[in-house]
Amino acid sequence: MKIAFLLHNVYAIGGTIRTTLNLAAALAERHDVEIASMQRHRETPRFTVDPRVRLVPLVDTRPSGLDAHDPRLGEPARDFPSAEKRYRQYSRLHDERVAEYLRSSDADVIVGTRPGANVYIARFAPRQALRIAQEHLRHDAHSKALRTELARHYRTLDAVVTTTEADAAVYRAKMPLPGVRTLAVPNSVPRPPVAPSDGTAPVIAAAGRLVRGKRFDLLIEAFSAVADKHPDWRLRIYGGGAEEERLQALIDRLDVAESARLMGPHSPIEAEFAKASLVAVASDAESFGMTIVEAMRCGVPVVSTNCPLGPAEIIQDGVTGRLVPTGDKDALAAALLDLIADAPARRAMGTAALESAEAYDPEPIALRYERLFEDLAASRLSRGWERGRAAARRRAGHVARRWLTAARHATHPNRPAPATPATGAKRP
């Protein structure tokens, strides 16, 4: 079987890139796998790519690249959804290159890894291929405009795969897609090539993009309470982003600069997690929680906010880590202090976390995808009938609404016709 992934930029750093490479490598054990990267901004990928996985760069945006002077690179995209957060990074050249790649693809399965890629697949991928949309962001994190566009295109796909059961339930409730399988498959995280933490180092680690939603400010404030009682403990925050200056100013204002440090981006992160005894996550929302699993794979318990949607599906509170209310710095500090004070409990949680994280091995996750491919292929006909019946019901509903509108207008000819939502113009 040939499996193709459509990815934003395999040459960059990010959770979606890493989990796609993990899954692609596991599937390459038994299948022909390639990753089409819609962007290329550097010579080689930052992450290690399994040599069995073929990379296909579609648009080379390097200053010295072949596409740097193509005039289409300066034209706005027409097919990539304008409500997608990365819309400004796409162009007419991307539209044409991706469409050409998809239309000529001989893959049996084509998997998109973000909303814009999924729309491209819905529009241009061959119908004989199984077409699957992965959602690495939460349904509710998308704007209303984007959700409306996705619903129109997703109904033509074969499956929508979220990273958590909670998000799959939201999609089924808010974006019903007849004939389309909507299910959850978690991200895979391989066993790291480092020895697990022994739980003795007085270090709390955290990692992620330095953006407001990750709430590193909340973590720093919580740690200031920890530092008052345990001045030997250290906080190490790994990552880069727009909030760096603000977070450093907060560290300075709270007078914890001696014990709390912004360490900058670091990849892979597991070597740093293995040097810690605790990992903290203070986010307002997580679509999955890759850093949680990465920490657990290093034998480190995680103290996390119980934010939607991922942490509660990964952490067993009191067994493999701790869950605290979102936005509550006092609860976060208390949980950290409890585990700092109780070294045996901390080490027991680390051992349980290490065992629990084996569920995220790439091999069982790849097997779940293989079973999904088999199910989608076997159910293609029945799902087609389901899709057709739903389309017929929609058309009947449109006809009925038009008939009712006409009947009301005939009964009350002087009543103004209702305006259309899109333009405000009167219906004829």
Tell me, yes or no, whether 72 and 221 share the same domain.
no
What is the mean pLDDT of the segment spanning 82-96? 97
Reported confidence tier of residue 269, pLDDT bands at 50, 70, 90? very high
**CA quadruple 86, 92, 97, 103: dihedral, nearest 10:** 100
What is the mean pLDDT of the segment spanning 318-343? 98
Answer whether residue 251 is part of any domain: yes
Residue 391, pLDDT > 90, answer: no
Q: Under 8 Å CB-to-CB from 308, ≥6 apart: which residues? A: 138, 140, 166, 285, 286
Tell me, yes or no, whether 328 and 388 share the same domain.
no
pLDDT tens digits along 15-47: 899 999 999 999 999 999 999 999 999 999 989
Domain C-terminal end among 337, 354, 371 = 354
Distance CA 195, CA 271 (A): 9
Answer whether residue 374 is part of any domain: no
Tell me, yes or no, whether 125 and 32 share the same domain.
yes
Contact 99, 123 (CB under 8 A): yes
Tell me, yes or no, whether 178 and 213 share the same domain.
no
Answer whether residue 193 is part of any domain: no
Half-sphere exposure of 345 (CA within 13 A, CB side): 14
Tell me, yes or no, whether 21 and 168 share the same domain.
yes
Answer whether residue 373 is part of any domain: no
Tell me, yes or no, whether 93 and 165 share the same domain.
yes
pLDDT tens digits along 147-163: 999 999 999 999 999 99
Answer whether residue 78 is part of any domain: yes
Residue 47: domain span: 2-184
Residue 421, pLDDT > 60, answer: no
Tell me, yes or no, whether 136 and 258 share the same domain.
no
Answer whether residue 361 is part of any domain: no
Q: Under 8 Å CB-to-CB from 349, ≥6 apart: which residues? A: 301, 319, 320, 321, 339
Tell me, yes or no, whether 117 and 243 share the same domain.
no
Answer whether residue 280 is part of any domain: yes
If residue 280 lies in a helix (H) or strand (E), which one and from where to where? strand 278-281
What is the mean pLDDT of the segment spanning 232-258? 97
What is the mean pLDDT of the segment spanning 63-81? 94
Tell me, yes or no, whether 157 and 221 share the same domain.
no
Contact 297, 320 (CB under 8 A): no
Distance CA 313, CA 165 (A): 8
- Residue linked to tokens 């597991």: 270
Domain C-terminal end among 320, 354, 388 = 354
Tell me, yes or no, whether 285 and 341 share the same domain.
yes
CA 346-352-357 angle, 5° bins: 125
Tell me, yes or no, whether 333 and 222 share the same domain.
yes
Answer whether residue 195 is part of any domain: no
Number of domains in the chain: 3
pLDDT at 386: 87
Tell me, yes or no, whether 326 and 404 share the same domain.
no
Amino acid at 404: L
pLDDT at 415: 61
Q: Which two tokens stand for residue 208?
A: 């992620």
What is the mean pLDDT of the segment spanning 397-423? 68
Domain C-terminal end among 354, 370, 399 = 354
CATH number of the domain at 324, please: 3.40.50.2000
